[in-house]
A and B are shown apart, each in its own frame.
Chain A
Amino acid sequence: MQRMMNSVGNKMETKGLNLYYKNFQALFNVSLPVREHRVTALIGPSGCGKSTFLRTLNRMNDVIEGTRIEGEVLLDGNNIYAPGVDPVALRKKVGMVFQRPNPFPMSIFDNIAYGPRIHGIKNKETLAEIVEKSLQAAALWDEVKDRLHKSALGLSGGQQQRLVLARVLAVEPEVILMDEPASALDPISTAKLEDLIHQLKNNYTIVIVTHNMQQAARISDYTGFFLNGEMIEYDYTNNIFTAPRDKRTEDYITGRFG
C-alpha cells in the first residue's frame, strides 16, 4: 500500500493553504496532494470549505472580491499564485464542471468550439475534429452527431452535463475539477457520468466535490474529508470508507454527524 502511495506522482498539491473572505477565514492550513491520473474526491458537510478549496485549484476564487490566500497551490511543482501566472492560461490547464450544466445558448457545435476558437483555432476542419473528439470522449457523440447545429439547450440535463464536460475537454486540460457534477442528474445520467469519470482518469487528473458519499466511494481513488474549513483526513478511498482513523470522519460518513 505504502509503495503504491508513493509511486503515483502529484499533479497538484496544496501546502498550508489558508483562505480568507475579508475577515472570514474559510480554509485552515489545508495540505492535500492531487495524484496524477487518479480521482480525488472531497467530501464534507455543507459549508465545510470543500467547494472553496476546489476553486482555489484554478483560481476561480480570484473573481470574488476580498479573497486572500496564504500558502501554496502547486501545479506540476509550480505555484499557481506566483506573480506573472495568467489565470486564463491556468484555467485552460485546469478545467471545471459545475453543479448545474451551463451550456451556452448556441449550437452544440459552437459550445464545444467556443474554447478552441478563443485560443485562436480558426480552421474549420480542425474545429470539427476537436468537436467530434471531445464529444466522443464525453460519451455524447452518438447521441448528438446528427444535430450538432441544433441548440444545446434542447439536450436533457444529463446530456447537457456531458456537453459541458466535452467543452472542457475541447481545450485539452490536464486537470478537471468537478463541483457536484451529478447532483442535478437522474440515476441513469449519474451512472453514465460516473463511468465517464472512470474512463477519463486514464488521460486526466480529476478532483470532484460531492455530497453523495456512495458516489465518492464508487468513483474515487483518494478521498479528503473536510470539516469547518479544515481537512480532517485524507487517505485511500477504501480506507476512508471502511476504517477511517478520525472519529469526526467516522461520524460523518456513518451519518451520525451533529
Chain B
Amino acid sequence: MVRESFQEQLNNLRNDILLMGKLVETAIETAVTALKRQDLDLAEKVVMDDEKIDRLELDIERRCLSLLALQQPMARDLRFIGTALKINTDLERMGDYASNIAKVVLSLGEEPLIKPLVDLPRMAELAQKMVRENLAAYVNQDRDMALKAAMHDHDINILYHQVFNELLAFMTRDAANIKQATYLLFIARYLERIGDHATNLSEWIVYMITGERLELNES
C-alpha cells in the first residue's frame, strides 16, 4: 500500500466527521429532551456543548484545506475531502439549530406548556434518524442508505406544516398563547431546517460514493 500517511490522515478525517455527526445527533436529542422535560440545566448543556462542535468544524476544515494543498488529491480522495468540507459545514449548522432549540427552551423557562408535545419530538426523532442513517451510509459507502435517509425529510416537512397550522390555531384562539406558540414555532422551524441540512448530507455522501450530484431537497 502506497501513500500510507495520506491514507491515515483520511481515516482520521473520516473518524472526526463521524464524531461530529454523533455530537450533532446527541445535541438534537438532548435539546428536545430538555424541551419535553423543560429541563433548563440540560438545555444549558446543549448550548455549552455546541462550542465543541464549532471547534471540531474549524479543525476539520483546516485539515481538509491542507490535504488539498499538500496532497493534491484526485478522484475518490478528492470527492472524499470535498464531501468532508461540505458536510462539515452542514453538520455545524445542524449543531447550531440544536443549540437554538435549547436557547428557546431557556426562554420558555418553567412556564406550563399550552399543549402536550407530540409532533415536535417526532420531527426530532426523524432528524436524528436522518443523521444516523447518513453516518452509516458515509462509513459503509452505502448509496441506498443515503437515499433512504433523505426520504425522511418529506415526513419532517409534513409534520412542520401540521405543527404550523396547529400553533396558528392556538394563537388565533387566544392572544395569550402567541408568545409560547411563537417559541414552539421557532423550534419546529429549526427542526425543519435540520432536515434540509441532513438532506444535503445525503446528497454529498452520494457524490462521495459515485460522483453523481443529485438534488434531493424538496423545492
A contact set with B: CB distance below 8 Å: 213-214, 217, 240-244, 249-250, 253-258
Complex CA distance for A244 and B75, rounded to whole angstroms: 7
- Contact partner of A258 (CB less than 8 A), chosen from B2, B73, B75, B212, is B2
Closest Cβ–Cβ distance, residue A246 to chain B (whole Å): 10
Q: How far is the CB of A214 from chain B (nearest CB, A)?
A: 6
B70 is an interface residue with CB less than 8 A from chain A: no
Alpha-carbon gap, A18 to B202, bound state (A): 45
Bound: A241/B73 CA distance, A: 9
Contact of B77 among A213, A217, A254, A258 (CB under 8 A): A254
A241 to chain B, nearest CB (A): 5
- Residues A242 and B2 in contact, CB atoms below 8 Å apart: no
Which residues from 1 to 51 on chain B have a C-beta closer than 8 Å to any C-beta of chain A?
1-3, 6
Bound form: Cα–Cα A257–B3 in Å: 10
Which residues on B sit within 8 Å (CB–CB) of A217? Answer: 74
Check A243–B72 contact: CB distance below 8 A: no
**B residues near A214, Cβ cutoff 8 Å:** 72
A240 to B, closest residue via Cβ: B75
Given contacts A213-B74, A217-B74, A254-B73, whether A242 and B3 have CB atoms under 8 Å apart is: no
Complex formed: what's the CA distance from A257 to B210 in Å? 20
Interface residues on B, range: 10 to 19
Question: Cα distance A214–B72 when bound, in Å?
Answer: 8
B residues apposed to A, CB below 8 Å = 1-3, 6, 72-79, 210-212
Closest to A251 in B: B75
Chain B residues within 8 Å of A253, by CB: 74-75
The complex places the Cα of A144 from the Cα of B78 at a distance, in Å, of: 42
Known: A241-B78, A243-B79. A255 touches B2 (CB 8 A): yes
**When the two chains form their complex, are residues A243 and B75 in contact, meaning their CB atoms are under 8 A apart?**
yes
What's the nearest-Cβ distance from chain B to residue A14, in Å? 25
Contact of B76 among A213, A250, A257, A258 (CB under 8 A): A250
In contact, A254 and B74 (Cβ under 8 angstroms): yes
CA distance A19 to B77 in the complex (A): 35
Residues of B within 8 A of A213 (CB): 74
B75 adjacent to A241 (CB under 8 Å): yes
Cβ–Cβ < 8 Å partners of A257 in chain B: 2
A241's nearest neighbour on chain B, judged by CB, is B74
- Closest residue of chain B to A239 (Cβ to Cβ) is B211
Shortest Cβ distance from B74 into A: residue: A253
- Beta-carbon contact of B3 and A256 below 8 Å: yes
Cβ of A244: which chain B residues have Cβ within 8 Å of it? 75
> Which residues on A sit within 8 Å (CB–CB) of B1?
256
- Output the residue of B3, B72, B74, B78 with the most chain A CB within 10 A: B74
Q: Which residue of chain B has the shortest Cβ distance to A257 in the bound complex?
A: B2
Most chain B CB neighbours (cut-off 10 Å) among A253, A257, A258: A253
Q: Which residues of A contact B74 (CB under 8 A)?
A: 213, 217, 241-242, 253-255
> How far is the CB of A2 from the nearest CB of chain B, in Å?
16
Q: Which residue of A lies closest to B71 (CB)?
A: A255
Q: Within the complex, what minimum Cβ distance (angstroms) separates B204 from chain A? A: 14
Least CB distance from B39 to A in Å reads 47
- Tell me, in angstroms, the Cα distance from A254 to B74 when the chains sit together: 5
Contact partners of A249 in chain B: CB under 8 A? 75
CB of A254 within 8 A of CB of B72, answer no
Chain A residue with minimal CB distance to B78? Answer: A242
Tell me the smallest distance from the CB of A188 to a CB of chain B, in Å: 19
Contact between A242 and B72, CB atoms less than 8 A apart: no
Given A243-B79, A253-B74, 19 new contacts (CB under 8 A): A213-B74, A217-B74, A240-B75, A241-B74, A241-B78, A242-B75, A242-B78, A242-B79, A243-B75, A243-B210, A243-B212, A249-B75, A254-B3, A254-B73, A254-B76, A254-B77, A255-B74, A256-B3, A257-B2
Cα A241 to Cα B75 in complex, Å, equals: 5
Please give the distance in Å from A210's CB to the nearest CB on chain B.
14
Q: Which of B1, B72, B75, B77 has the most CB of A within 10 A?
A: B75
With beta carbons under 8 angstroms apart, the residue of A241, A243, A250, A255 that contacts B3 is: A255
